[in-house]
Structure 1
Amino acid sequence: MASASFTDDLTCSICLTIFTDPVTLLCGHSFCRKCLICFWDTQHQCPQCRASLADACTSEDLCTNFVLLSLAEKAKQTDVIDKEHITAKAEVADMCPEHDEKLKLYCVTDQQLTCIICRDGERHEGHTFKPIKEASASLKRELEKRLDRIPGDIKTLERLFNTQAENLNATKDRSCQLGSQISAQFEELHQFLRKREEKLKNEVTRQQNVDVEQMTKMLNAIEAELSQSRALQAKAVSVLAISDPETFLKGWAKGNNVMLQGASRPKASDLSVVETSLSLGPYESHLKFFVWKEIFQVIEPREVQLTLKGEESQTNLSVDRRSVLHRTNFRSPTAVPRKPRYTASRNLSQREPQKNPPSWSYLERFTPWYHVFATSANVFTSGQHYWEIEVGQIGQTGFWEVGIQDHILTFDDGELFTDCPEGETLLTLQSIPRKIGIYLDLSSQKLSFYDSTNMAHIHTVSTKSSRATSMSAMLKMNYTTPNILPFTVCWY
């Protein structure tokens, strides 16, 4: 094609095509003869620069610009040649570049156009071929089928998008709600601590005022006695300085003997330094501990022990069925049923039972073992619940399980792991807890285990897959030392 600048110079600004019978006006601008005459029917000015022209103009008054006419003809010929060249290129593109044959086949395997010779070549050996029209129709039908599914996919994606957007907004709202809840609860603690701090400071100030008043009185009394003693001392020195006996005796008779009596009575023995009484008692050395104790009165805990039911005849419960007690006659060291042990990975998809896993684990022959298995008679149906179980020290308990029916935390053979319908998860801890705190949130369907000594989080599992018809606290334990193991549920 002709260059863009060359074509623009030979283009009529009225019809926007290459000049046909171009004419030039006195202002120097050129247009097609027919275009200019049609324009002059309404306006008598140059269509481009708006210069005023003659009031009347006919075709005979306009002279053809033969230079532009020649160039315009050449430009038209160039466009024709360019179009023919493009057509030739398209025809060449339809030819196989390797065999110079027309592309008549479509290789389904390689998804490309081929010629007949390509079909029989080694590179396409074993490939599937179709005629171009048949392949095109087949692909169009497949595309139409996929296109039919797209609206359904779009609706599904829109639904997912809307749901995700709602969850996103709900999460942000929930985050703000929880943040406000945390701030409100901490503000209560802050208010309590600020009030307690102010009260303790006021107590210190009160004691200081009492001590300062007493110390000031004593200081003034000591200062007065000190001044009198210094005056008496000075007077006594002046009297002793009298050398004439007659004069000395005359002064003595006039009252210096009273001074002697005053000097003979010691004043310092009647006065003593007032010691400070400033003290906060235990708040001085254990302030944080005692305030921590007082915080419990702010949160107002209510401990409600669960009612227990023994699952085995060996289980001994207290009279009020609130605690599990050791039996006087401990269980003799016989075979105790245990679950099959698995490899250390404890991954549901990878774990494999050991070959010939023992279905029974025999306890030490000469070690007395106590066995207990109990659940709570209380059933958890809604809300959040927390309870704690004393599991004892290592050596006292060789095996224990705590939690709910099918979501438990297990200690066995020195290992700590969770056992749920999804599988077992081996846990790594620096030390085995002596007391387990269990938090069940039925609204979010989560069960969390804590070391209740320092409230360190151990592990959290989901209870969505629980097959239990009802949820209650569970305890199963083998131990060597008699112990009392209370179930305690606390609401705060």
Structure 2
Amino acid sequence: MASKLSFHLTCPVCLCFFNDPTILPCEHNFCRQCIMTYLDSGATTCPECRQHFRKQDLKGNRTLRNLVEDVQQKQKTIKVKDLRQTSRNGHEMLCSDHEEPLKLFCEDDQRLVCLICREGEKHSGHSFKPVKEAMKEYENVAIQAQSFFSDENKQVGDMIFNQTNEITKSKERFKYLEERMHAQFKKMHDFLREKEKKMMKELQEAANSAETTMKQNASILGELQINCNKQISILESGLKISQPEGFLQWWSEEGFLLVKGITLSENKDIKSALQATSRLKSNRVISDHFTIGPYETDLPLIVWRDMLDFVKEGMNTSTIDKDLKLSIRKDGHLQFEGQEYFARNQKFHNGYKDNYLENIQTGQVYWEVDTGTEPGWEHGLTVRYYPKDKNASFLRTLLSYKSYEKLSLLVKDNSLYAVRGDEETLLVNQVIPRRVGVYIDCKRRQVVYCNADNMSLIHTVWCADK
């Protein structure tokens, strides 16, 4: 029953008990700070039901606030009562082995001991401290640990909030692309209707896959926050104990194991909790990462290429050659020095040359390469990515061969591999295409390789993810 009640008293944004609960016109409740931060981000719809609301629509929920305070007070009372029952007559704790007062704390075993225990073989050579002195020392450790978990808890809350925004952006992006594609496909006839149906399916699958991944990440972050709340609650309960014996008994049973888990693995001294390493290094907010490659920006031209008789009429050779190989370029706004950019090998009459590069600093670029007929065709698939370096000029970055990351496709042993720097990744279930399309989106730092004959995706590289 208590678990069900706690669920209804929890804010769906921060997953903690409501703090100054605020109700929306749709009757969903949130912490006032959570919903105000949500509004400041530009959102205008309820995170639960997507019903629109305004800032002036927010109202405090006094009944819910009183209920939360009552439940929290009862939980605190129960915890304090349980801790008090651990001591004999509420005054002095006795050793279970010798029935003597526990006056010392063994720093090696992290346990309360009596004077007889100190002289025993079990604690031979160990270091001991009086309980009051030990409490003062380890109470400071517990305070530091509490601050550590509180900071982590806030970071997780921010990550969950940002992840929720990313999911909303993903849905809006899907709607935008869907509307855009419908408008373009309406200009075409029966052949294009079938193409539209196929592309809508691929877009839906990409959007669903991205949303599923982000929701799974949000769930993981939620579980991490729940664990943080439990750990903070345990530390808070221990820090409320004023009696040294009672505190150190709690420390032996709960506090020590909890704090030990956040200290550096190579540091065996529990008193160095200030050097605790955050566990959030492996966690991050997954951005709105899904793509359908060049179809997003150049759908009409690429689809027209499939309609051979139609596309040959009125198309000039600057965008499509006699073999209907495309080369498309759309420039965006100019970028400043120190920004990341891409480069590709230039092609001459006798093939591609490594020493001649075309810089791609802005916009989108798409080109196609025949894998069998062109000499040195693999160089045509090679893309160089130059990460951002604010301290280096554009010319210096360009001339520094060590500053770029090499991206390419490789055919080896009748298999297709994706190359990133010195790392080769086998592309499972991928046939070697007759013609490869390469698509670069500078703004999104994205490189896409696809089978140019049917525009099926081969491999995508997000250069900012590594």
TM-score, normalised by the number of residues in structure 2:
0.39
